[in-house]
Structure 1
Amino acid sequence: MLKAIHHVAIICSDYQRSKAFYTDVLELKVLAEHYRQPRDSWKLDIALPCGGQLELFSFNDAPARPSYPEAQGLRHLAFLVDDVQQAANWLTAKGIAVEPVRTDPYTGKQFTFFADPDGLPLELYQS
C-alpha cells in the first residue's frame, strides 16, 4: 500500500535564511513557492534527488524545536550519499559544521550529522 515518502515538512524560524540553506548551500531545486496571505506564511516546495520533496514553511511565533536533550517525535532527516567523507568535506567547504564521520556498528555504513539553520539534525548516510 505505502510506496514511498512523498515529502517532509520543516517549519523554520527565518524563512529567507532556511531557503538559502536548502537551495543555495545544499543545492536543492525549488519546485514552487507560495505566500499564503491568510496565514502570513510562506511555503516552499523543494525537490530531492530521489523524487521526494521537502516543504519549508514559515509561521509567525512557532516555538523552537527541542533537540537536546532529544525529544519524542521525528528525530532527524537523513540524506543518502555515495561517499560520506566527500559530502562532509563539501559541506565544510561551504562553512557548515559537520560532526566527525562514524561507522554504524550494525550496518557497517558510514554516517555523520550536521544541522540546518534552526538546529534540525540532518544526517549523511552511506549508500
Structure 2
Amino acid sequence: MIEAFHHVAIICSDYARSKDFYTRILGLPVVRETWRPGRQSWKCDLAVGAMQIELFSFPTPPPRPSRPEACGLRHLAFAVRDLDTTIDALIGAGVAVEPVRTDALTGRRFTFFADPDDLPLELYESAPMDTHPTTMT
C-alpha cells in the first residue's frame, strides 16, 4: 500500500527566518514557493532527496505543546554521510548542536539541533549506501 514518504509539513512562526534556515543553513533547494492569499500564507516546497518538506506560514499559529516528548511527531531525522562536517557547518552558522551520541541498535552516530521554532531535528550518520536509516531515537 504505502511506498514511501512523500513530504513532511512544517508550520513556522516567522516564514522569512525559517526559509533562510532551511535553504541557506541546511542547503535545501526550493522546488516552488507559493503565496496563498485566501489563507494569508506562504507555502514553500523544499527538496530533501526524492522527498520534500512543505514549509507553511500562517498569521497566528499555536505554539508547539512541549519538546521533545509531546504526543505526535517527535522529530525529523536527516541522513548525512559525514556527521562531523555537517555539525561544523551548523555550528559555523550559529546553530547549537547537542553532543554526538551513538545508536545502541545500529552503532551509527547521531545528534540533535533545532529549527528557528525549536522543532527538534536529527542528523543521523549513514553508511555510504544507506539512504534509509532505521533508528529508534
TM-score by length of 2: 0.88
Letter in 1 for 2:117: D
1:15-34 maps to which residues of 2 (within 5 A)? 15-34=15-34
Identical positions, percent: 62
Comparing 95-104 and 82-91, the one that deviates more: 82-91
Count of aligned positions? 126
CA offsets 1:73-115 (integer angstroms, 9 cap, x no match): 0000000011222211111111110001110111111000000
Contact 1:104 1:110 in 2 (8 A): yes
Superposed, which structure 2 residues align to 1:1-127 within 5 Å?
Answer: 1-48=1-48, 50-68=49-67, 70-127=69-126
Q: Residue in 1 aligned with 2:135?
A: none
Q: Secondary structure at the match of 1:38?
A: coil
Inter-partner Cα distance in structure 2 for 1:10 and 1:92? 23
Unaligned stretches of 5+ residues in structure 1: none
Q: Equivalents in 2 of 1:46, 1:116: separation in Å?
A: 15
Cα deviations by residue, 1:27-46 (Å, 9 ceiling, x for unpaired):
11001111110110010001
Q: Distance in 2 between matches of 1:81 and 1:68?
A: 23
RMSD of Structure 2 on Structure 1 (CA): 1.0
Structure 2 CA distance for aligned equivalents of residues 123 and 66 of structure 1 = 19
